[in-house]
Amino acid sequence: MRTQTYDTHKLQTLLKRRKIATMDELKDALRTKSNITVSRKLNELACYSSYSHRGSYYTLDEIAHFDERGLWQCRSIYFSKHGTLVATTEAFVNQSEAGYFVDELLPILHVDPKDALLNLVQKGRVWREKVSGRYLYCSCKRATRKEQLATREVKQQKRHIQRTCLDKDLTSSELRALIILFFSLLDEQTRRLYAGIESLKWGGER
């Protein structure tokens, strides 16, 4: 009995025409009922599966135009250069400046990251720390996590100062005194981080 062969070019043609496609659409293109056959052919191509919609959509690397964060959207489907939702969430947390709360990741990923974060914490790939009564997700690397927590503290204190200024309509001298008091409460590392953030902000406003 003659062994049937499948042409990878048919998958490329479909994906170039449609940009994205489901497993069923790819099976139709190859005229097969086997998911394994399609998966084997996809492995011969440089392609990605979506991190949204349970990974049920596929695209070619040459089609996906990832932004500076490594994400790409086609219609309502989301892809990541990092791969799955778990891998993408891990990369975002580890590369973050000040860790992430769940509600900060949601508008970035457009997918609820709660289950992915829990999975990562349970596997020891992400660390979580209670900050202001909520879980902040940080890097498992101690040095990186220490910097993330310190930066988060600076940001939270700055927001507190800004809210205080708006609520109380402080004069410039009162504001200066409040900032000096805030600065005096920081440890040496956090002071350096705060000074660095301020210098970047003022440098960007010139």
Q: Sketch the domain layout of the chain as residue ranges.
A: 8-80, 85-138, 142-204
Instruction: Please give the sequence-ordered ranges of beta strands (E in DSSP) within 52-125, or none if there are none.
Output: 57-60, 71-74, 77-80
What pLDDT, on a 0 to 100 scale, did the predictor assign at position 192? Answer: 65
Who wins on pLDDT, 206 or 146? 146
Instruction: Please give the sequence-ordered ranges of beta strands (E in DSSP) within 33-146, or none if there are none.
Output: 47-49, 57-60, 71-74, 77-80, 127-131, 134-138
CA 159 to CA 167: how far, in whole Å?
A: 12
pLDDT at residue 23 tops 90: yes
Question: Which candidate, 52, 42, 35, 33, places its Cα nearest to that of 8?
Answer: 42
Tokens of 120: 């990562």
What pLDDT, on a 0 to 100 scale, did the predictor assign at position 160? Answer: 65
Q: How far is CA 142 from the centre of its chain?
A: 20
pLDDT at residue 100 tops 80: yes
The single residue listed with the structure tokens 């999975």 is 119
- DSSP letter string over 21-38? EEHHHHHHHHT---HHHH
Average pLDDT over residues 42-52: 95
Burial of residue 184, with CB atoms counted within 10 A of its CB: 0-12 exposed, 13-18 middle, 19 or more buried: exposed
Q: Are 61 and 47 in contact (CB under 8 A)?
A: yes
Which of the 8 DSSP states describes residue 129?
E
What pLDDT, on a 0 to 100 scale, did the predictor assign at position 188? Answer: 67
Average pLDDT over residues 146-175: 72
What pLDDT, on a 0 to 100 scale, did the predictor assign at position 98? Answer: 95
Q: Is domain 85-138 annotated with CATH 1.10.10?
A: yes
pLDDT at residue 172 tops 80: no
Phi, psi (degrees; rounded to nearest 5) at 83: 110, -120
pLDDT category at 206 given cuts 50, 70, 90 is: very low
Q: Dihedral through CA 38, CA 39, CA 44, CA 49, nearest 10?
A: 110
pLDDT category at 185 given cuts 50, 70, 90 is: low
CA 151 to CA 200: how far, in whole Å?
A: 14
Q: Are 70 and 81 in contact (CB under 8 A)?
A: yes
What pLDDT, on a 0 to 100 scale, did the predictor assign at position 99? Answer: 97
